[in-house]
Structures are given as structure tokens and as C-alpha cells.
Chain A
Amino acid sequence: MAGQVERAEGGAAPRLRPPRDICRKARWSGAVVAAVLAGAAGAQDGRVSTYEQMAPELRAMQDDDFSNPGLLWAQTGEELWAEPSGADEVACAECHGAAEEMAGVAAHYPDWDEESGQAVDLAARINLCRQRHQGAEPLERGSEALLALTTLVALQSRGQPIAPSEAPQMEAVRGQGEALYSTRMGQLNLACATCHDDLAGGRLLAAEIPQAHPTGYPQYRLEWQEMGDLDRRLRNCMVGVRAEPFAAGSQEFVALEAYLKARAVGMEMEAPAIRP
């Protein structure tokens, strides 16, 4: 897709930029190189990001850093990254260096946290870091500040292939996620798999059912008019089938994300994505 090249050239993921002479020779060959470098999966195995199903205007909005509102959250994230925080008055940057140092990190979350003995998503990892290394309170799930920091870190993996954690404990977590994904729930008695595996591409009223690959979180949804995390999106679906949603940041949501990430292994990270 052309968008990959534009994003690769946008400066956020310079290592993915194909050599200049190849770009000059033929634009499509640049696209091929970018796709190979990014380990992009898709066309070959039938998996596609919802990006591919979106209107050209929305794809353009996502691809252009000046029109993608997610970049505003990343900008706020940059400020928070550099700002001393908590009782220890230490900034993220003091330990981690520039945010660019976090390249590739988001691509393998959720991951296992040895100290607490549980799986954590990227937002939970940021909160653990705050508590353990800054002497700060955890940020509220879904809050602007946590979304901003998560977006900043996720942005550093843009263009990279999803590479699920290899921690052995994560295998069982993914199993829990898969079981939840296949469990019918709510008054409408539907499982995630009912729609997103078996009926993807069909239309639910006006909406084309996506394959549910979590390539772009946190993401800016036009229906939300703001950034949101995967938990929020999953809660929307659960409420849609009239089920009691799991709590934000719950182990159930972490397990679901771990399964979805494994299902999307090799697909290109695109946070902050735009979605209708």
C-alpha cells in the first residue's frame, strides 16, 4: 500500500525508509522494499488491517502527521516524557533517553511482568514504571495523560511488525484470550469470533465488519472524536452485544489483547491509527 511508503518517509520510522535510489527508480519498488522491511503480512494470508477497508480520505488523514489528530496526543506525550514526575521527581527521559529509544517496544506488548506475576499491557507497564521508578501514582486508565504517553511509545513502533512477547507465561495468557474471544456473551449471545472471524467483510447495518487486528492502538476514532485504547473499543463491542463489559485494564482485556496480537503477528503497527 502506498501509505506504508509515505509513513516510512514521514520520518517517524527512519530505519524503514528504503534506499533513495530504489525510491527514485520506481515508486512501487520502494513500496515492496518497505513492506518487506516491515515484515508486512496481509495480502498473502488474507489478513488485512481495517486501514485497507477505509475510505481514501481517512487513510490520507492517518498517513499525514499534520492531519492525524493522534500526533497531538503524541506531542502531549513528549511533554510528559520530559517532565519530572512523582515523589522522586524523575522524568521518563532520564532513564529511557529520547522517546525514540522505545522503538519496537509496543510491538511486543502485552508482556509478562515478573515482579507482579501477571501480564500487562503497554499502559499498565507505563503505570508500573511510574509507581516503581518515579514514586508517582498510576494514571487513570483511559485518561488523557496515559493515552498521551501510550501513544508516544506506540508511535515509536509505527511500521514495525507485531512481534508477540516470547515470555513463556504469555502462552497461557493467550489461551485465556482465545477462550474469551470464542465465548458467546450478552443478551445477544454473540462471541467476538462470531463476527470477526466468521463474518468479517460482511455488513452489520452500514458498518463493514473488520477482522479485528489491533494494529493501531491507541487510535483516534471519528465516532469518539478523541483517542482511545483497545479496552475502550472492546467495551464498545461488549455493550453492543449487551454484555457486562470487563473492567478497564482487567486481566481479561490483557488476555484478549495478547490473543489478538498473536493473531496479528507480523502485521504492521500503525498507531496512532484513524478509524471511522
Chain B
Amino acid sequence: MLAAALAAAPALGQGLEEPLTAVPGDPVAGAAIVGEPTRGLCLLCHAGPFPDVPFQGTLAPPLDGVGARLSVPELRLRIVDSRQVNSASIMPPYHSLVGLTRVGERWQGDTILSAQEVEDVVAFLATLTDPPIPEETE
């Protein structure tokens, strides 16, 4: 189980080099996950290049340009378990079951995203190399 592997890993550096699955991530599938707030949950906190989503969160940095700021292994680690980078992070651990408390019955034993979904999201985020478009002044 990846979660167990993560807990045991002594030093991850700042990234997870190894993909979680043999199937390469699909950026189109990843965009669908990120762009659907109730599925990926990303847009609850982050803004991103999704003009069709009228309201986006302001609690975390915008996703625009994240593919230029972070490498693929760095993106993968932050999505799998951002606590490995910053223990105070508010970002949910998308693919770890370690150290969770009082998980609701219907979510027990499940991670937020499957391994393949993580790979898809990573592949999509890696394409976001352009900085945010400045907001139009009203």
C-alpha cells in the first residue's frame, strides 16, 4: 500500500519520482477532475484556468503557472500528501490514509483520489506553465 510506503519512507526530498501507476497520466482526464469542484475539490481553495467555474477559492495559491513552479515529482508528492512538505498545510492528503482521525464511515479506507487519478491530475497541472491572467480592472 502506498500509504504504508510513505509512512516508512525516511527521506522523500521534495518529490515522488516514481509514478504511482504504469499508465501515464492523462492531462485531459486530469483537467476534468480539477475543473469539477465537487470531484477534485481543488477549486474550493485554489483558483485556476477554468472560466466556466464562476466562483473559485481564495484560500490557497492559484494553480496557474504551477507547472512552471514545481516539477512533476514535486507536484506528485504535494497531491499524494502535502503534509510531507509542510506539516501545517491545509491541503487534504489526496492519496494517503496515514494519520487521519474520525473519517466518516462511507469514506473509510478510501483515498480522495485513486492512484490513476493522481497521475492524471499531475499530468494536467504540469501543463499549467503560464502565469495567471491579470484580473480585468472594473
Binding site for B on A (CB under 8 A): 183-190, 194-195, 198-199, 202-206, 209, 238-239, 242-245
Contacts and interface: CB of A to CB of B under 8 A. Distances in A.
B57 A204 contact: yes
Contacts of A239: 104
Given A199-B90, A204-B45, A206-B54, A188 B112 contact: yes
A267 to B, nearest CB: 25
A243 B112 contact: no
The 8 closest A-B pairs by CB, nearest first: A206-B55, A188-B92, A187-B107, A203-B58, A185-B102, A242-B107, A244-B104, A202-B59
A111 B43 CA distance: 41
Contact of B102 (A186, A195, A204): A186
A149 B59 CA distance: 39
Contacts, number: 70
Given A194-B90, A203-B57, A205-B55, A186 B45 contact: no
Nearest to B41: A188
Given A188-B112, A189-B93, A205 B102 contact: no
Contacts of A190: 90, 92
B55 A187 contact: no
A186 B54 contact: no
Given A242-B107, A243-B103, A204 B59 contact: yes
Interface of B: 37, 41, 43-45, 54-59, 90, 92-93, 99-105, 107, 110-112
Contact of B57 (A185, A202, A242, A244): A202
B58 A202 contact: yes
A119 to B, nearest CB: 21
A183 B100 CA distance: 10
A243 B107 CA distance: 8
B100 A205 contact: no
Contacts of B105: 244
Contacts of A183: 101
A244 B103 contact: yes
B45 A185 contact: no
Given A195-B90, A243-B102, 15 more contacts: A184-B101, A187-B92, A187-B107, A187-B112, A188-B41, A188-B92, A189-B93, A189-B101, A199-B59, A203-B56, A204-B44, A204-B59, A242-B104, A244-B105, A245-B104
Most B C-beta atoms less than 10 A away, residue of A186, A187, A195:
A187
B57 A205 contact: yes
Contacts of B112: 187-188
A204 B92 CA distance: 14
Nearest to A240: B44
A194 to B, nearest CB: 5
Nearest to B43: A205
A189 B111 CA distance: 12
Given A202-B57, A203-B58, A205-B43, A189 B92 contact: yes
A205 B56 contact: yes
A205 B37 contact: yes
A244 B102 contact: yes
A245 B90 CA distance: 20
